[in-house]
């Protein structure tokens, strides 16, 4: 049974993430909690959901599964996913969300002590679901309790962000909440830090009427136009030496449905590349760390500009498969020798950031607060200036799911043969790095019948075309052989 993908369980609320599945997963989680803890922490599970229409029914089923499994259930209502993760510290958490997926979907994410379940823990839950975990004895069933955790989370984000940059002092920021769970979070924190915030799509609505839940350059077109129009003909706000106009915006923020993703819009209404945002945060965390060996954990599809800025700041980068930043953090710690001052200072993949000094969960609200303080200190342009932004492209090649293993196995040799000057890494797909700092990555999609090609280069179209030709030949050869 393969329930879990790269970000928990997701899918149609009618056919996959149904109340029936939620009941079964709830019982399985409860059994796993009781078996694992043996008194080392409370048998408590905080349960929250996003604003999707299907959330209440699935939450009711999940609550029934957990309670009949014999664990204490704390109902936290509607929360951003990072707020649920924060509330799971010292206990367990279940978040019902499909993040940026369409409104027809829902999902289940599991947390323990502020970190997502790793693969081993997810497999244990899968096995219990497949085995149809029975309820606990009748006298071990529990009565659920209502808890309010959002205010404590927002206070913690604000206090953490105050360790960076400057006071916001009226800095104008536009935030597109996308009718999602950032609505009660990001604008509140930014205002408490001193910003003047204007929101778009600032009401929670599980139909996502304002725009698609996934924040992309296309779905954020209203936010981009709003900022560009407001800033037209005025001094660009938030830039060093520029007077902040009363009607202009320093920058904009777009979130997904559950507030773990963040997109930054500059004063011209353009999307700041996700890897540039990642690089500027990674550099800042590395420079400010007092560790002898500061490490930034990222994913194979992340840009080489991150490596460049982290190296410049005195750190190094380690990569881990997509959706497993928490496993990468744990691996770096496990591999550190006793007494060795190796420390993960930041972990991120495009759009999603873990602020390790705050907590080991992906947190778009914390990113918004920290970035705002850095922009107030230096201006967005100055933060971006040291970062080399080479052209970047991603393409998808049709590939049946059953052919993916054979295709990736062959590409492990054919791609290095085709590009003999490249350094090769096959830990998470096939990644080639070239002497001029260009790179490409080929990896199978975990959710769709594609092989993905990522590339960054001054001649990115040429590089993509060369890699695409190799991949297409291999896909065709494997398909013919089958």
Same domain, 54 and 34: yes
Q: Look up residue 351 and give its two tokens.
A: 């759009």
| The pLDDT value given to residue 82 | 98
| The pLDDT value given to residue 230 | 94
Domain of 378, CATH number, reads 3.40.120.10
Catalytic center residues:
99
Decide if 23 contacts 65 (C-beta within 8 A).
yes
Residue 1 is assigned to a structural domain of this protein? no
Residue 102 is assigned to a structural domain of this protein? yes
Same domain, 401 and 421: yes
Same domain, 197 and 281: no
- Give the chain's domain count: 4
Residue 326 is assigned to a structural domain of this protein? yes
Q: Which of 337, 325, 263 is nearest to 297 (CA)?
A: 325
- The DSSP output letter for 391 is -
- 362, 385, 408: which is the final residue of a domain? 385
pTM of the model: 0.90
Phi–psi pair at 91, nearest 5 degrees = -160, -155
* Cα–Cα distance for residue pair 394/461, rounded to 1 Å: 10
* Cα–Cα distance for residue pair 190/266, rounded to 1 Å: 17
Residue 2 is assigned to a structural domain of this protein? no
Residue 27 is assigned to a structural domain of this protein? yes
- 147, 167, 195: which is the final residue of a domain? 147
| The pLDDT value given to residue 346 | 98
To 5 degrees, how large is the angle CA 94–CA 208–CA 145?
30
* Cα–Cα distance for residue pair 53/46, rounded to 1 Å: 20
* Cα–Cα distance for residue pair 470/324, rounded to 1 Å: 28
Residue 3 is assigned to a structural domain of this protein? no
Same domain, 298 and 378: yes
* Cα–Cα distance for residue pair 249/361, rounded to 1 Å: 29
Same domain, 468 and 410: yes
Q: Look up residue 223 and give its two tokens.
A: 């936010």
| HEC string for 44-86 | EEEEEECCCCCHHHHHHHHHHHHHHCCCEEEEEEECCHHHHHH
- How close are the terminal C-alpha atoms of the chain, in Å? 25
* Pairing of the two strands 316-319 and 262-265: unpaired
> Residue 122 is inside which H or E element, if any?
helix 119-130
Same domain, 13 and 108: yes
Same domain, 179 and 101: no
The whole domain housing 210 covers: 153-271
Q: Where are the alpha helices (DSSP H) in 268-352?
A: 274-288, 304-312, 325-335
Q: Look up residue 432 and give its two tokens.
A: 């080639």
- The DSSP output letter for 134 is P
Same domain, 313 and 348: yes
- 119, 147, 175: which is the final residue of a domain? 147
* Cα–Cα distance for residue pair 40/101, rounded to 1 Å: 36
Same domain, 185 and 59: no
Residue 4 is assigned to a structural domain of this protein? no
* Cα–Cα distance for residue pair 373/382, rounded to 1 Å: 13
pLDDT digit of tens for each residue in the chain (482 aa)? 689 987 899 999 999 999 999 999 999 999 999 988 665 556 899 999 999 999 999 999 999 999 999 999 999 999 999 999 999 999 999 999 999 999 999 999 999 999 999 999 999 999 999 999 999 999 999 999 999 999 999 999 999 999 999 999 999 999 999 999 999 999 999 999 999 999 999 999 999 999 999 999 999 999 999 999 999 866 554 444 344 445 699 999 999 999 999 999 999 999 999 999 999 999 999 999 999 999 999 998 898 899 999 999 999 999 998 888 999 999 999 988 787 888 999 999 989 999 999 999 999 999 999 999 999 999 999 999 999 999 989 999 999 989 999 999 999 999 999 999 999 989 889 999 999 889 999 999 877 899 999 999 999 999 999 999 999 999 999 987 76
Question: Can you give the length of the chain in residues?
Answer: 482
Residue 469 is assigned to a structural domain of this protein? yes
Instruction: Match 């409104």 to its residue by tokens.
Output: 103
Tell me the Cα Rg of the chain.
23
Same domain, 22 and 137: yes
Same domain, 374 and 335: yes
Instruction: Match 């003047």 to its residue by tokens.
Output: 196
Signed CA dihedral, 51, 54, 58, 60: sign only: positive
Same domain, 137 and 20: yes
* Cα–Cα distance for residue pair 88/158, rounded to 1 Å: 19
């Amino acid at each position: 049974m393969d329930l879990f993908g790269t970000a928990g369980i997701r899918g149609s609320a009618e056919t996959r993430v149904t109340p029936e599945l939620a009941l079964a997963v709830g019982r399985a989680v409860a059994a796993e909690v009781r078996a694992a803890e043996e008194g080392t922490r409370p048998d408590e599970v905080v349960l929250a959901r996003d604003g999707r229409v299907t959330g209440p029914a699935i939450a009711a089923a999940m609550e029934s599964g957990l309670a009949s499994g014999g664990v204490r259930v704390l109902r936290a209502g509607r929360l951003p996913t990072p707020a649920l993760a924060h509330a799971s510290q010292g206990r367990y958490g279940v978040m019902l969300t499909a993040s940026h997926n369409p409104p027809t979907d829902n999902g289940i994410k599991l947390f323990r002590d502020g970190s997502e379940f790793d693969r081993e823990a997810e497999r244990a839950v899968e096995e219990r679901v497949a085995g149809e975990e029975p309820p606990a004895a009748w006298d071990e069933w529990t009565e659920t309790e209502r808890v309010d955790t959002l205010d404590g989370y927002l206070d913690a984000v604000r206090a953490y962000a105050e360790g960076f940059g400057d006071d916001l002092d009226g800095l104008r920021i536009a935030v597109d909440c996308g009718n999602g769970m950032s609505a009660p979070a990001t604008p509140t924190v930014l205002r408490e830090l001193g910003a003047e915030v204007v929101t778009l799509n600032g009401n929670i609505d599980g139909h996502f009427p304002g725009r698609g839940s996934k924040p992309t350059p296309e779905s954020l077109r209203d936010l981009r136009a709003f900022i560009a129009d407001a800033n037209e003909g005025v001094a660009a706000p938030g830039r060093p030496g520029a007077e902040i106009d009363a009607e202009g915006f320093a920058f904009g923020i777009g979130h997904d449905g559950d507030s773990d993703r963040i997109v930054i819009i500059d004063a011209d209404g353009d999307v700041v590349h996700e890897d540039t945002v990642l690089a500027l945060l990674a550099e800042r965390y590395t420079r400010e760390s007092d560790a002898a060996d500061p490490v930034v954990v990222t994913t194979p599809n992340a840009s080489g500009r991150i490596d460049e800025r982290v190296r410049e700041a005195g750190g190094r980068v380690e990569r881990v498969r997509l959706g497993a930043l928490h496993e990468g953090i744990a691996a770096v710690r496990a591999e550190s020798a006793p007494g060795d001052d190796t420390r993960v200072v930041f972990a991120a993949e495009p759009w999603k950031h873990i602020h390790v000094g705050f907590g080991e969960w992906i947190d778009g609200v914390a990113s918004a607060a920290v970035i705002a303080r850095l922009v107030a200190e230096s201006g967005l342009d100055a933060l971006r200036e040291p970062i080399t932004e080479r052209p970047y492209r991603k393409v998808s090649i049709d590939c049946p799911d059953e052919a993916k293993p054979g295709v990736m196995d062959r590409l492990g040799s054919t791609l290095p043969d085709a590009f003999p000057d490249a350094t090769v890494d096959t830990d998470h797909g096939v990644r080639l790095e070239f002497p001029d700092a260009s790179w490409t990555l080929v990896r199978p999609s975990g959710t769709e019948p594609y092989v993905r090609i990522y590339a960054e280069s001054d001649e990115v179209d040429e590089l993509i075309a060369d890699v695409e030709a190799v991949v297409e030949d291999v896909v065709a050869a494997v398909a013919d052989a089958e």
